[in-house]
Amino acid sequence: MTNFSLESNPTEALKATFRGHASGVVIVTLLDEHKNPVGFTATSVTSLGATPPLFTFNVSQGASSWPAVSLRGHVAIHTLGAEDVDLARKLAGPKVARFTDQDWNPGPFGLPVFEAASSVLIGKIRDIHDVESNAVVIVDVLEALLGVEKGGLLYHQRNFVGVGEVLD
């Protein structure tokens, strides 16, 4: 235990650890109650078993997209490459500018599909677990739109980064 310093404040402990944890960046899209497109950039999407195929993501109930998520409808997850960093930034930026370009089209179940995605996983929200002011969203996979394989897009140390070399 010689190499470590103790961070006893739990909020600082979480922040310091997750700054050093590289996470994959995706765009999540869905529809609001008026069938208008909603979307956001997320780093919390992760698989939850393949039989049956499920995935999860985490969201704050204070987020602008939360009312749409809480409808428990269909949802699309877009995987991205390093060349899509501006798209990831746009979907993390002002809500009014997220769907004003001609870079998306309505896809399965009317979900917004960004054409740049390397793949688009289509699912239906099965369950939402409230945890404090956040939520864990459980999604059943229905199908996918598979595009061109890309190198991956990550968030690490407060920067968007690409995927590095394969390790032997």
Binding residues for a second copy restricted to 95-114, rule: CB under 8 A: 105, 107, 113
- Tell whether residue 130 is a contact of a second copy (CB under 8 A): no
* Least distance from a second copy to the Cβ atom of residue 96, Å: 24
- Tell whether residue 15 is a contact of a second copy (CB under 8 A): yes
> H/E/C letters for each residue in 9-45?
CHHHHHHHHHHCCCEECEEEEEECCCCCEEEEEECCC
- Tell whether residue 41 is a contact of a second copy (CB under 8 A): no
Which residue, 17 or 33, is less far from a second copy as judged by CB?
17
Identified binder of a second copy from the candidate list 37, 44, 73, 92, rule CB under 8 A: 44
State the sign of the Cα–Cα–Cα–Cα dihedral 163, 47, 27, 134.
negative
* Least distance from a second copy to the Cβ atom of residue 37, Å: 15
- Tell whether residue 43 is a contact of a second copy (CB under 8 A): yes
Under rule CB under 8 A, how many of the chain's residues touch a second copy?
88
* Least distance from a second copy to the Cβ atom of residue 17, Å: 4
Q: Are 25 and 162 in contact (CB under 8 A)?
A: no
d(CA 133, CA 61): 6
Question: Where are the alpha helices (H) located in 10-149, listed in sequence order?
Answer: 10-19, 66-69, 85-91
